[in-house]
Each structure stands twice: as C-alpha cells, then as structure tokens.
Amino acid sequence: MNFEATPMQQELRELTRKFARKTIAATVEQDEHDGTFRPEYIRELGSLGLTGIPVPEAYGGAGLGYQHYIVTIEELARVSAAYAISVAVTGLPQVILSSFGSEEQKQKYIPKLAAGEGVGAFSLSEASSGSDAASLRTTARRDGDHYVVNGTKLWTTQADSSDVILLMARTGGPGPKGISTFILEKGTPGLSMGKREKKMGMHISHTMELVLNDVRVPAANLVGNEGDGFTIAMSALDSGRITIAAVGLGVASAALEVAANHSRERQQFGKPIGEQQGIQFMLADMAVKLDAARLLVQRAAWLKDNDQPFSTAAAKAKLYATDMAMSVTTDAVQLLGGSGYTQDFPVERYMREAKVLQIVEGTNQIQRMVIGREVHQTREF
C-alpha cells in the first residue's frame, strides 16, 4: 500500500490550505462569536473546484473520489469545522443524486451545487426520530402530479441558507419501507424555517427546524421510487460518516499544532514545558491517535472509491476519528492550562466543535451497534 499523497491530493491540500488560512481564518473567530455564515466562502471554494470533488465531471464535478475529498475536508476543518461541514453537507445532495437521481435531476441540481453557486442540505431527523430514523412522521401524500408534504424536521444543517434540500418523508406505512426522498427548492410555498438551535459550538453552521405546511413538491422531484428513501438515507449516512471523520482529523490536527507550539514556547521551572516527560507523553499519545485515525479514514475512503463494501469501515472511521478528536482537543486544553480555557486560544473552540462530531451522522453509540453486528457475524479476524 502506498501512503504517499498523489500529486492531485497534494495540490488539493495546498489549494484548500491557502484559501482557508488566508480567507476563512481572517473572520472565523468573529463569525463563530456572532453566528455568521458566509455563503460567499462556498462560492469561492466552488470557483476553486472544491465543492464538487466526488461527483462526475459530466455534472460539473471534479470526477475524483473520496480519497481526494477527505483531503479538502480535513484542511478546511483545521481552520473551521463549520465550513468543512458546510462543504460536506452541500456534497450530500450531489452524491445522492449521482447515485439515485434521474438524469433530469442530475442535470438540474448537481452543477449548481458542484460549482458552489448553491448550498445544499439533508433533512432526515425529527423530534421523535433521531437514531431511530425509520420512525419519522413527516408525510408526503400524492395529489395528481405533486406530493403534498406536511410535518416538522429537526437538526437540518444550513437549511436557512440552502437552495436545495433533500428531505425524507413518509409515503407509505410504518417502518423503513414507507419512506421516500424528495428534492425541495428554496422558496417553495409552505416551507418555512422554525427555530434555530442554540448550540455549544459550530455557531457559524446554523442548525434549523423545518416546518412544512402543505408544501407541494412536483412528482418529478421524487428521488428514485416511493419506498426508496430509507435506503437512500442510509447510503448517504455511510458516505457522510467518512467526511465527518475527516472533519475530526482536521480539528485534532489543529489542536495538536497549537499544543505542540505552546509546549515549545511556554517556560516553566526554567525550561520549555515540552522538555517535561509528562508533556511529551501527552503529545505522543495525541500524535499516535491522530495517525491511527487517519489510516482508518483513508481505508474507508479507498473502499468506497473502489466499489468495495465500506459501511462498517466508515462506521469504524467515524467512531474512532471523532472520539480521537474529542480526546485530543481535551488534552490540548489541559496542556495549555488556564490559557486553554480562554478564548485567547482556539483550543476551547476545537473542543466544542469535536463534541458534536461524536453525535452527527449517527451517534458513536450507533456506530458501535453497526460494528458490533458485523463482528457478531464474522468468523475470522
């Protein structure tokens, strides 16, 4: 196995790093404080070819795979996990439509999102259906050449900025076979924003309640067939877990960089604290966890790119990388001491960002269920 980055991966890393550290870094702390999302950053990332990496060139994408995609996501997350997730969430409708959409849907919706000229969203969760996604209650009733959608959705990332929302609703009986997927466009009558969640972190990334009151969606906006929605959602979550794991890598990398620099600069007892064995052990553990997580994420991306079963590998990558991010950012705060607990240093933000990564795209308890079922059925290891 070759662990060396390809020239294209290196080019993507340098391109993303330059933009993130020059442009996003200039406003990230103030925007995080104010809760300001800047769609112009998505447009600029699109102009650089960074918002459609995993989708075919025929629809305006870069025609590259997840092994390239995770490079950009990680680099963005080093500066802002919120914008990394924004790119990943805008990518979800593109990935879903590439796999399950009609040719008309692909031509109509993917190019704009791939170019960064629009923002995308994915809406599955409800008050009564989080981890138990198959229990959702939002309904879509066929009425001639439209569906009439009613209900309330929760935890929809950047819905208030989105031009295209892929939404799951119930067209049939209870359980997963009664769920279908629809494309909703910005400004559709009856679609409105409810409350914006007050979160402990990721303030740039708005998490919204969606209220659907007799929303008429053209039948042409049904993705796949009626009853395909749960399969589509689970496929999207498998892919999304790889990108969330990559966000964890970026957040942890940034935290380790700050901690290592601090250990060289901070003097106590007449020498840099990094010369103390206890500090070196902390840094060593952080570095090993980060490297191990990166290998898991790269393997999951390789499996997906090579059309191999990757669901369990994605669950492992998401579980370990986000738990790792929480551990590394917590240790970074500890290593900086009192300074780490202040907003003068970014590690307290990284710690708050890492926490939500253990929850989104399926909690890490759900990942353990996915992995545990696979282990239970496996005869050889």
pLDDT of 378 reads: 86
**Measured distance CA(143)–CA(154) in Å, rounded:** 25
Say which DSSP state 126 is in.
Answer: B
Q: Does domain 231-377 have CATH number 3.20.19.10?
A: no
pLDDT of 9 reads: 97
Q: Provide CB contacts within 8 A for 17, sequence distance 6+.
A: 75, 78
**Measured distance CA(151)–CA(340) in Å, rounded:** 43
DSSP per-residue codes, 60-114: TS----HHHHHHHHHHHHHH-HHHHHHHHHHHHHHHHHHHHS-HHHHHHHHHHHH
pLDDT of 380 reads: 78
**Location of each CATH 1.20.140.10 domain in the chain:** 231-377
pLDDT of 203 reads: 97
CATH number of 121-227: 2.40.110.10, 3.40.50.980, 3.40.50.620, 3.40.50.2300?
A: 2.40.110.10
DSSP per-residue codes, 132-178: -GGG---EEEEETTEEEEEEEEEEEETGGG-SEEEEEEE-SSSSGGG
Burial of 48 (0-12, 13-18, 19+ CB in 10 A): middle
Q: Which residues of the chain have pLDDT under 70?
A: 1
Q: Which among 341, 114, 89, 106 has a CA at the least distance from the CA of 240? A: 89
Q: How many residues does the chain have?
A: 381
pLDDT of 327 reads: 98
Task: List residues with catalytic annotation.
Answer: 361
pLDDT of 3 reads: 83
Superfamily of domain 7-118, CATH level 4: Acyl-CoA dehydrogenase/oxidase, N-terminal domain (1.10.540.10)
Q: Chain-centre distance of CA 260, in angstroms? A: 27
pLDDT of 1 reads: 65
The model carries a pTM of 0.96
